[in-house]
């Protein structure tokens, strides 16, 4: 159920309670209210089922040129973003009176000298990189907080706010959240940091000492906004298991204080066999085929289709923290440069959105609009064919997100044989990347077909892309084979195209 519908039902409950006030002693009203609300919440967990993307880099890379594409993306459903996303979280002090994210050299030096590596040494290479980022951040023309506020006025966006727990204070974090809320931004959740198990070197007590006062202040200031902790996703690794055990114990001990957990889901170990076949770099010519890429992507498709890691994570959460809310604020594949922005990768991401969106309150791909190869929309690269001279171009994962956001929340996978027995409009998703075209067999009982549509993305190869990829050598041809979403409309059942992913829309009466 969409979150807005849940709130509407809560309002109905409140109206019922108000009507009871006319006939019931006032001292009974609180008990009735609590009873009704607890019963409602038990039977209707607040799962918004919203999809979207981790938005690290969004306020730097975003521009007015993106707005029409964002409006199309959010035409039927909102999207969620995690902001500030990724590694920026532990550096950011966003404020209206600071440029960019409010990064500063003093806090970065302090961070790196406090959180050294396992041998007690400062991570100088990462320190230099973050200092350079702070220098660039200070040159931004205005506050990133203001950029996000302006963006939220134009598109239907929901924000999962990521706290700076490593260096921020209750005051600095709450000030930023309050500014967003007072400006009309829909902040739907608050998460205590970014992959903190790694940043705190698996010291949960140190993490707790930092997040607890901030989250308690958030609970007091924003009691209706859910609060989340970072859980370790590698549930077969000893360090992650020990971290999670302490985290789960804390959640149980504090009752409703913590609303749920935030997990990042990446396939890397699972893709090692495919990665070993990947040539890494290719001098890519548009009209050529590459046996090494064929082999790597054939194995990639086999592994991603048979992967059960997301199911394992969900079962793990349900067993250890039943009744809590689960967020997945980053998912994707590593090494990203091997797979990103291809039909095979786009099909995998689309399948994850469709298959798991109802298991998470928010499900976010990595990344949204930014400068990296794995961003769903990113600036034009040297190997992008760009006759319209645009600043940025949509990549395959953008179409994965758009196609998924055009679907009803409860959409089943398309089967080779499907039966429809009642009139109405039906949707089915499919991931046929790397596969041959086929005609689905749909049997109609007591009804007849009125229209059949296929909305899909396709290309010549499983590794066909929407422009430049991470494995294209600088000597490659400029290209932009995958140009967008195609739609076939018919009064008859049509083929599911070769090497494609998308959905079918079936209308019967």
List, for residues 327-343, the tens digit of each pLDDT value. Answer: 999 999 999 999 999 99
Q: Which residue has tokens 């195609």?
A: 486
H or E element, residue 312: helix 309-320
How large is the angle between the packed helices 238-253 and 204-221, nearest 10 degrees?
Answer: 40
pLDDT at position 130, please? 86
Q: pLDDT tens across 233-252, in order?
A: 999 999 999 999 999 999 99
Q: Which residue has tokens 């039943």?
A: 322
pLDDT at position 110, please? 87
**Neighbouring-strand partners of residue 379:** 392
Q: pLDDT tens across 282-291, in order?
A: 999 988 999 9
Topology (CATH) of 38-405: TIM Barrel (3.20.20)
Query: How many whole angstroms separate alpha carbon 463 and alpha carbon 289?
Result: 10
**Neighbouring-strand partners of residue 413:** 429
User: CA angle, corner 349, sides to 58 and 354, nearest 5?
Assistant: 110
Residue pair 280/450 in contact (Cβ under 8 Å)? The answer is no
Mean pLDDT confidence for 84-107: 91
Does 151 have pLDDT greater than 50?
yes
pLDDT at position 286, please? 83
Four-residue CA torsion sign, 406, 407, 413, 418: negative
Among 63-72, 115-124, 176-185, 257-266, name the one with the lowest average pLDDT: 115-124
List of E strands, 92-230:
157-162, 186-191, 227-230
Q: Which residue has tokens 């981790």?
A: 54
Rg (CA), the chain: 24
Query: How many whole angstroms separate alpha carbon 458 and alpha carbon 489?
Result: 16
| pLDDT tier at 30, thresholds 50, 70, 90 | very low
Q: Comparing C-alpha atoms, which of 176, 99, 97 is closest to residue 137?
A: 99
pLDDT at position 37, please? 38
- In sequence order, the 6+-apart residues with CB closer than 8 A to the CB of 325 are 45, 46, 47, 226, 228, 259, 260, 361
Query: How many whole angstroms separate alpha carbon 351 and alpha carbon 434?
Result: 14
Residue pair 108/123 in contact (Cβ under 8 Å)? The answer is no
Structure tokens at 60: 């730097």
How large a percentage of the chain has pLDDT more than 70?
A: 91
Does 353 have pLDDT greater than 90?
yes
Among 125-129, 171-175, 490-494, name the one with the lowest average pLDDT: 125-129
Does 480 have pLDDT greater than 90?
yes
- In sequence order, the 6+-apart residues with CB closer than 8 A to the CB of 317 are 231, 261, 263, 324, 326
Q: pLDDT tens across 48-57, in order?
A: 589 999 999 9
**Neighbouring-strand partners of residue 263:** 328
Query: How many whole angstroms separate alpha carbon 30 and alpha carbon 34?
Result: 6
Mean pLDDT confidence for 425-442: 97
Q: Comparing C-alpha atoms, which of 53, 106, 56 is closest to residue 78?
A: 53
| pLDDT tier at 167, thresholds 50, 70, 90 | very high
Mean pLDDT confidence for 107-135: 85
**pLDDT mean across residues, the chain:** 90
Q: Comparing C-alpha atoms, which of 304, 284, 306, 302 is closest to residue 293?
A: 284
Mean pLDDT confidence for 264-276: 96
How many helices and strands (H and E) does the chain possess?
Answer: 17, 16
Structure tokens at 405: 């956001």
pLDDT at position 38, please? 36
Phi, psi for 309 (deg, rounded to 5): -65, -40
- In sequence order, the 6+-apart residues with CB closer than 8 A to the CB of 193 are 89, 90, 162, 163, 164, 165, 166, 199, 207, 211, 230
Among 108-122, 248-262, 314-328, 374-388, name the one with the lowest average pLDDT: 108-122
3-state DSSP assignment of residue 345? helix
| pLDDT tier at 361, thresholds 50, 70, 90 | very high
**Taking the model in full, what pTM does it have?**
0.89
| pLDDT tier at 125, thresholds 50, 70, 90 | confident
């Amino acid at each position: 159920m969409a979150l807005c519908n849940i709130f509407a039902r809560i309002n109905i409950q409140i109206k019922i309670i108000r009507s009871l006030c006319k006939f019931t002693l006032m001292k009974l009203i609180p008990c009735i209210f609590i009873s009704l609300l607890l019963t409602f919440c038990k039977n209707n967990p607040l799962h918004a089922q919203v999809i979207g993307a981790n938005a690290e880099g969004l306020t730097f890379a975003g521009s007015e040129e993106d707005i029409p594409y964002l409006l199309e993306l959010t035409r039927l459903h909102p999207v969620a973003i995690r902001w500030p996303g990724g590694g920026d979280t532990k550096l950011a002090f966003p404020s209206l009176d600071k440029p960019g994210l409010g990064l500063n050299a003093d806090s970065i030096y302090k961070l790196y000298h406090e959180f050294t590596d396992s041998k007690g040494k400062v991570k100088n290479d990462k320190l230099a990189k973050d200092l350079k980022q702070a220098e660039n951040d200070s040159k931004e023309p205005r506050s990133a907080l203001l950029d996000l506020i302006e963006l939220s006025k134009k598109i239907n966006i929901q924000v999962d706010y990521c706290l700076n727990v490593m260096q921020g204070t209750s005051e600095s974090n709450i000030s930023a959240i309050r500014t967003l809320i007072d400006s009309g931004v829909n902040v739907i959740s608050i998460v205590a940091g970014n992959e903190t198990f790694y940043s705190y070197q698996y010291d949960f007590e140190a993490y707790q000492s930092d997040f607890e006062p901030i989250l308690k202040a958030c609970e007091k200031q924003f009691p209706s906004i859910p609060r989340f902790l970072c859980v370790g996703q590698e549930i077969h690794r000893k360090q992650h298991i020990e971290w999670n055990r302490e985290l789960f114990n804390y959640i149980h001990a504090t009752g409703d204080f913590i609303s749920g957990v935030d997990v990042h889901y990446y396939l890397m170990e699972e893709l090692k066999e495919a990665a070993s076949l990947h040539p890494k770099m290719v001098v890519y010519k548009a009209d050529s085929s590459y046996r090494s890429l064929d082999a790597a992507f054939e194995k990639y498709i086999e592994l991603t289709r048979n992967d059960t890691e997301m199911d394992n994570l969900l079962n793990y959460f349900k067993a250890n923290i039943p009744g809590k809310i689960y967020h997945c604020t980053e998912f994707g594949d590593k090494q990203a440069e091997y797979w990103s922005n291809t039909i095979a990768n786009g099909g995998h991401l689309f399948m994850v959105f469709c298959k798991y969106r109802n298991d998470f309150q928010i499900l976010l791909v990595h990344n949204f609009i930014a400068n990296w190869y794995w961003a769903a929309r990113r600036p034009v690269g040297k190997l992008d064919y760009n006759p319209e001279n645009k600043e940025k171009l949509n990549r395959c994962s953008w179409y994965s997100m758009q196609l998924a956001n055009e679907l009803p929340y409860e959409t089943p996978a398309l089967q080779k044989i499907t039966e429809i027995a009642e009139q109405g409009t039906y949707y089915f998703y499919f991931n046929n990347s790397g596969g041959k075209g086929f005609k689905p067999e749909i049997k109609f009982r007591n009804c007849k077909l009125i229209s059949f549509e296929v909305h899909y993305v396709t290309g010549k190869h499983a590794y066909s892309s929407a422009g430049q990829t991470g494995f294209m050598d600088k000597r490659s041809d400029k290209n932009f084979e995958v140009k967008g979403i195609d739609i076939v409309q018919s009064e008859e059942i049509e083929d599911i195209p070769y090497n494609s992913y998308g959905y079918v829309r079936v209308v019967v009466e």
